[in-house]
Amino acid sequence: MRAALLTWLLLTSVLQLCAQQTSTTYSSVSSILAWMNSASRTEREKAFGEAGELLGSDTTAPKNADRLRFGIIQLLVRENTEELKQTDAKAKEGAPSKGASEVEEGEGEEESDYYSVLVGFVASLNDERAIPALLGAANRGGIARRGVARFGKRALDPTLMQAKNANADLAEGALWVIRDMLEFGLVSDPESHLQIKDALRSSLGSSEFGVRVSAMGAIEYLGHRDEFIPLLKEVAEHDPVKIAGQRPDDGGDNGEFYPARFDARRLLRKIANHEQPPIDRGLPPSEYQPVKP
């Protein structure tokens, strides 16, 4: 009888301890997720670090691990918004915008590292829920772009929708994702290619210089590029954006430099010579392997 009572007391104590540990973990996860919504970038960064530690622990329950992964994805959405605000502010000031990988030495180094690591972490999740977040970072670097492109057709609709975005930064990022999809053969069915061609035609006629240039980067990887010859000729002859103090290599604009015209003529020569675009660019296989459904 006494042995049975001791066994019952021991079991009760163990169950209470387990309940306390679970409650502590749940509270910790909830706290981390709350910090990710903080107005302070420092607190958000700290929350990201602590979430990473919990995800690397064998003691974190699967349900809590999934909550943390989704929370980190949402954190990237938040940081993308902050990055766009900075880009817009620089554009209004007349200063050239810089992506996360283009920060000058000593300028915002810690913030750049945090954002870059966050983007890389979300891309490494191979989680379809991360497609919108990575699309928001697509104009900041190749890791985000390839993180979207690897989903192939499953990522095509949101990518095409973003290519129409009035914000040039977002539209350009989507067009670079399309280029990666084409380059690595991640979207190959005829219907998808028709949708892509329609989007590229529209982008080539955009009023935004960066969108027109980004569209040409994707057109280079199409199978039937000759369909775009008339539109490319129009850009090569009439694109209005000129950069002072630089000279083109081909002398096509009377000693003045119109970068979109220059790119269009280069692409037209490649099409005429049946020159194939570069594939792979020396990336490790993990960077472009498709994510299986």
What torsion, rounded to 10 degrees, do the Cα atoms 190, 192, 198, 201 define?
A: -90
CA distance 144 to 138: 5
Half-sphere exposure of residue 18: CA atoms within 13 angstroms, side-chain side: 7
Q: Does position 209 have pLDDT exceeding 60, yes or no?
A: yes
Average confidence (pLDDT) over 204-225: 95
CA distance 51 to 281: 33
Categorize the per-residue pLDDT at 170 as very low, low, confident or very high, splitting at 50, 70 and 90. Answer: very high
Token pair belonging to 288: 């472009």
Which CATH code for domain 148-293?
A: 1.25.10
Nearest in space to 269 (alpha carbons), one of 242, 232, 241, 238: 232
Average confidence (pLDDT) over 7-18: 39
Residue 257 DSSP SS3: strand
Give the model confidence (pLDDT) of 252-261 as tens digits. 788 889 999 9
> Quick one: what percent of the chain has pLDDT higher than 70?
78
Categorize the per-residue pLDDT at 93 as very low, low, confident or very high, splitting at 50, 70 and 90. Answer: low
What's the pLDDT at 117? 95
Give the model confidence (pLDDT) of 135-160 as tens digits. 999 999 899 999 999 999 999 999 99
Nearest in space to 133 (alpha carbons), one of 146, 148, 151: 148
What are the distances in angstroms from CA 119 to CA 59, 104, 287?
Answer: 25, 19, 14
Sequence ranges of the chain with CATH classification 1.25.10: 148-293
Categorize the per-residue pLDDT at 287 as very low, low, confident or very high, splitting at 50, 70 and 90. Answer: low
